[in-house]
């Protein structure tokens, strides 16, 4: 199953008040595992970036002034997300801004049914907050030390890890040794091997034994199978 973890940065809190997107970051998951495929774009909001927004994401009006407009990156963005579910923290916020930008350029809006809101997942799983991304990283031991300011792609990468934890779908560690189901640990920590009360009956027929004996006879006097045959007879 393909999913897209998505985050945005904006000039403010409400697109209806003229605030715009300034950054979009996406991470592709396949069966809940990052594939390494990403989408990232800085966007010229065609307006000033307020000091309050700059303090959060560090993207200045000057820095964004030569970046592409949303209309210039929309086709690539829509092709990347395709029709996959969108995993977003506090999805209503980002969804509102994305649809405002899409409406502005007369493109099809993103349906709410596609959204997977990790904020809702966190509230359902944990009775007590806080539920912000930093708090969830602390809860699950996820390294977010690079997150000195909000950044759409970095936050999407971190959210992908949080999402897997919220679902309890962390990939099992690989082990090269197979577990012996006959072995158990007693209360003292010692390994106890259970013994079968009676050996299983042989599944080899007399005809198969005779055929094998005839085959071994053709291998010569030094055939290693002769040692096993001698012990069995």
Q: Which of 19, 89, 95, 150 is catalytic?
A: 150
For residues 98 and 127, which has the higher predicted lDDT (pLDDT)?
A: 98
Using 50, 70 and 90 to split pLDDT, how confident is the model at 230?
low
Q: Which of 17-31, 51-65, 192-206 shows the lowest per-residue confidence on average (mean pLDDT)?
A: 192-206
Using 50, 70 and 90 to split pLDDT, how confident is the model at 195?
low
Q: What pLDDT score does 34 carry?
A: 95
- Percent of the chain at pLDDT above 90? 67
- In angstroms, the Cα distances linking 135 to 11, 27, 58, 127, 140 are 24, 21, 21, 14, 9
The vertex-138 CA angle with 149 and 21, nearest 5°, equals 30
Q: What pLDDT score does 214 carry?
A: 81
150 in catalytic set: yes
| Residue 182 pLDDT exceeds 60 | no
| Residue 192 pLDDT exceeds 60 | no
What is the average per-residue pLDDT within 89-100? 98
Using 50, 70 and 90 to split pLDDT, how confident is the model at 233?
low
What is the average per-residue pLDDT within 4-32? 97
Domains of the chain, first to last: 2-167 (3.30.420.10)
Torsion of CA 216, 217, 219, 221, to 10 degrees: 120
Q: Exposure of 192 by Cβ count < 10 A (0-12 exposed, 13-18 middle, 19+ buried)?
A: exposed
Q: What pLDDT score does 212 carry?
A: 79
For residues 46 and 215, which has the higher predicted lDDT (pLDDT)?
A: 46
Q: What pLDDT score does 25 carry?
A: 98
| Tens digits of residue pLDDT in 155-179 | 999 999 999 999 986 654 444 444 4
Q: Which of 52, 50, 62, 58 is nearest to 23 (CA)?
A: 58
3-class DSSP string for the chain = CEEEEEEEEECCCCHHHCCCEEEEEEEEEECCEEEEEEEEEECCCCCCCCHHHHHHHCCCHHHHCCCCCHHHHHHHHHHHHCCCCEEECCHHHHHHHHHHHHHHCCCCCCCHHHEEEHHHHHHHHCCCCCCCHHHHHHHHCCCCCCCCCCCHHHHHHHHHHHHHHHHCCCCCCCCCCCCCCCEEECCCCCEEECCCCCCCCCCCCHHHHHHHHHHHHCCCCCCCHHHHHHHHC
- In angstroms, the Cα distances linking 127 to 120, 122, 124, 131 are 11, 9, 7, 10
Chain mean pLDDT for the chain: 87
What is the average per-residue pLDDT within 105-122? 97
- Let me know: does 131 contact 122? Beta carbons within 8 Å: yes
What is the average per-residue pLDDT within 26-48? 97
What is the average per-residue pLDDT within 191-201? 65
- Let me know: does 26 contact 5? Beta carbons within 8 Å: yes
| Residue 10 pLDDT exceeds 50 | yes
User: Residues with Cβ < 8 Å from 177, sequence gap 6 or more?
Assistant: none
Q: Answer yes or no: pTM beyond 0.75.
A: no
């Amino acid at each position: 199953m393909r999913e897209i973890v998505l985050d945005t940065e904006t000039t403010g809190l409400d697109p209806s008040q003229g605030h715009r997107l300034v950054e979009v970051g996406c991470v592709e998951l396949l069966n809940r595992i990052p594939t390494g495929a990403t989408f990232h774009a800085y966007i010229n909001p065609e307006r000033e970036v307020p000091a309050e927004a700059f303090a959060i994401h560090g993207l200045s009006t000057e820095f964004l002034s030569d970046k592409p407009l949303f209309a210039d990156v929309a086709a690539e963005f829509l092709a990347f997300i395709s029709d996959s579910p969108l995993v977003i923290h506090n999805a209503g916020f980002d969804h509102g801004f994305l649809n405002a930008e899409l409406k502005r350029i007369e493109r099809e809006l993103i349906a709410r049914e596609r959204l997977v809101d990790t904020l809702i997942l966190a509230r359902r799983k944990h009775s007590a907050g806080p539920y912000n991304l930093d708090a969830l990283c602390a809860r699950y031991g996820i390294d977010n030390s690079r997150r000195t300011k909000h950044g759409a792609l970095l936050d999407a990468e971190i959210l992908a890890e949080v999402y897997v934890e919220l679902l309890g779908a962390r990939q099992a560690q690989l082990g090269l040794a197979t577990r012996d189901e006959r072995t158990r640990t007693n209360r003292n920590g010692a390994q106890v091997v259970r013994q079968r009360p009676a050996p299983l009956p042989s599944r080899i027929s007399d005809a198969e034994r005779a055929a094998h004996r005839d085959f071994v006879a053709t291998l010569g006097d030094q055939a290693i199978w002769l040692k096993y045959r001698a012990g069995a007879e």
